[in-house]
Structures are given as structure tokens and as C-alpha cells.
Amino acid sequence: MPDTTTDTLEGPLAGTLVVDLSRALAGPHAAMMLGDLGARVIKIENPGTGDDTRGWGPPFVGPAENPQATYFLSCNRNKESVALDLKSDDGVQVLRALVERADVLVENFRPGVLDRLGFSVEELHRLNPRLVVLSITGFGHDGPESRRSGYDQIVQGEAGLMSLTGSGPEDPQRVGVPIADLLAGMNGAYGALAALYERERTGQGKVVRTSLLSAVVGVHAFQGTRTTVAHEVPAAQGNHHPSIAPYGLFSCRGGRVQISVGSEKLWRTFAQAFGIDPERAGFASNADRVRNRPAVIAAVEEAFASYGPEELLTRLEQIGIPAGKVRTLDEVYAWEQVRSQGLVVGVEHEVLGPVELPGPAVRFFAPGDADETTRRAHAAPPVLDQHGGSVRAWLGTTGPGTTPRPKEARR
């Protein structure tokens, strides 16, 4: 990434400085989202090893003597990397200088770790009263289990998501991406944005706290109210919606398609088009169809048996039934609709050269959609300490030194 300042980037957060002390995924994802919005993000990493995800593979890509983990590439675009030993005088000096200039600090240490490093919330706000501190933990900052380490799959299980995912109640499955981490990062980014907005009114930075546990419980949606209000305990039931039928993945000749028949009007249109009596006993209402799901699935798949997948999708589109295929990820990234939405971005990596990355999910436009104001120039995830020299020069701090402080000088 070229040397930059907070004034040279585009996007709604241009002029904002984010210090990213986090590692692994939840915090880095939050910081990357802020970078996608135009913030300058300076990522602080451990000397020598860097973020844990630099070693998470395979797959690794690039030269054998300098392999790059694709996991790290997934959550660190639009950032600069500075390696700091936060137990050294130099590391403390550089971080203090960054905190004094920053708008947001992102951290996902376990509760108490940042305090022991000498950067408690009180100290951070003494250095910079306008600083927004985004803090992400596994199970929350307080409560009886706050000190537990938070790892995505463990939280997916503990927060109930795995009990809802899989072919049936005896087959709990994790979601195919680290969804607890990703949702915690998204919640953190949106909380940080709210705190920045509030700061415009109050002049004071706030502490924003979220967790992987909060992230998963926060998206239980209708399954949550099914539990708390209807007092039912939901369980996994494969690729069919628990409250709507027919809605799910259905077999046809030589393949499968997904359909969503989400209203009684759509049901009548669908049933009549495929030779199913919409008023048949047990099929007449959505509640009836949910109660008689196996019979509905059988009737739909019998009607689909003479259609190949593409032919069936064409027919469903003709009659206005929401439908789709199950794409592999290589098909997704080659899909013109995905590329038209800016969901693939090209960057120039220090080691790998030109590569394509998944892109940001939000776009911005001037009134009337005349001009897109989304950040257009994206930077590749940095190699370790790629920007150490340029950031130090910008801060006016001394060169690196990794001699640990005497014990009595540490906090």
C-alpha cells in the first residue's frame, strides 16, 4: 500500500484513522470494513510472527520461501502493517503516538490484557478523549464466563446455531464460514460508526463492546422468538424452512433447485403450473403444508422429476416463483452479477503481485445515483511490517527497539 494519510483516501470515512490491535478474524474483519469505507487502518502485529492468521493454512500461495496464507488475505485488505513489541519502550511509544491521533481503536484481547499492557480504557481516553474503543470478546466482557476464550466453532455450538444447522437433530453442523467471528466484526463496525456519529454531538469517544456470543444470539431471529414466546425448541431439519412450505432445496431430473413459495398467492400459481391441486387436503394453507411437509416435498419432487435444472429454473422464472441454483464458489466469483456489484476487487500484493479478493458489500452514490462515491482504489493485505518505516516517519517517532521495559516500569 502506498504511503498515505487520513486525508488521501476516498469513501465516507475518509479522514478517519483506525488503529487495529486485533488478530484472527472478528476484530480484523471489523477494521477491514472501516477501511473499505475509506478509513486509514494501521494494523499492529507481533514482530516476527504477526497476526495468527498469517500461519493458518493450507492453503498458502506464493513462493516457498515466503508463503502467504489465504486466510490472512481474506480479512486484512486496505490496511497498513506495523510490527510492535508492546512490552518494549519503542512499542509503547509508537502505540501512544497512534492513539493520540486515532479516531477508533479495535482490540479483541481477553478482558484485562490491554490493562496489563498499560493501555486501560482510562489511559486510552486520557491520551485521546475523542477515541472510540471497539472491544470484541468471545463470551462478553462481564458475566460468569467472560474469561473464556472465544473461538468461532465453539461459540456456534454454545450459542445454539449448530443445533439449528444440519440434516436433522442428530446431525449438528457448523456453518461453512466462521459466522460468529464475521457477525461479531460486523456488529463491532456498526457500533463504532454509531459511536463516531455520537461523538460529533458530544465530543467524547465511547467504548463499544460486543462478542461472538452476542453476534450469534443476535441473529436467532424467528428461531429465538419461537423459543422465548412459543416455548418450542427448534432443531435442525436440513434444507427446508421450518415455517414456510414449500421453501427449500428440491431434487429434479439430474440435479437440484431451490424454491421459495412465500405466500398463498405464489402457492396457487406454483401448484397450478406444476399440476398440484392447491386445495388438496393438507396443502390448502401454509400452516397445513408445514405440518405435512414430507407429503409436500414428495409432491413437488414428483412434479419436478421430468425437468432438468436449467429447464426448471426457466419455467419457475416464467411464472414468477423465486428460485435458484446452488453454486460453487468458483462459479460465484465468475458470475457477472457478482462482479457487477463490486464484489471482486483487484489489488497488487507485495509478494503475490496482482490478485483478486472478495470485495466490500456496501456501495455509496451521490443523490440521483449520478456518481458512485464508494472507495474504488483498494490495497492488498500487507506483508508483516510493510509500513513500519513510513508510519514511524509520519509519527515522527524513533526507530524500532525491542528491549523489554524493566518489570517495575510495566503496568
Q: Which residues are catalytic?
A: 181
- Among 218, 315, 229, 224, which Cα is nearest to 275's? 315
Residue matched to cell numbers 487502518: 41
Kind and range of the H or E element at 92? helix 89-101
The C-alpha atoms of residue 14 and residue 268 are separated, in whole angstroms, by 51
370-397: burial string, b at 16+ Cβ within 10 Å, e else: eeeebbeebbbbbbbbbbbeebbebbeb
* DSSP conformation class of 54: G
The answer to whether 258 and 316 have CB atoms below 8 angstroms apart is no
Q: What is the helix (H) or strand (E) element at residue 255, kind and residue range?
A: strand 255-260
Radius of gyration of the chain (CA): 25
Place of cell 391441486: 277
φ, ψ dihedrals at 394, nearest 5°: -65, -40
Taking Cα atoms as reference points, which of 312, 344, 314, 309 lies closest to residue 327? 309
Could you give the angle at which helices 26-36 and 179-202 cross, rounded to 10 degrees?
50
Helix (H, G, I), strand (E, B) or coil at 111: coil
**Angle at alpha carbon of residue 77, lines to 72 and 79, rounded to 5°:** 105
Report yes or no: 80 and 106 within 8 Å, Cβ to Cβ.
no
> Which cell goes with 408?
517495575
| Cα–Cα separations (whole angstroms), residue 378 to 110, 349, 373 | 31, 11, 14
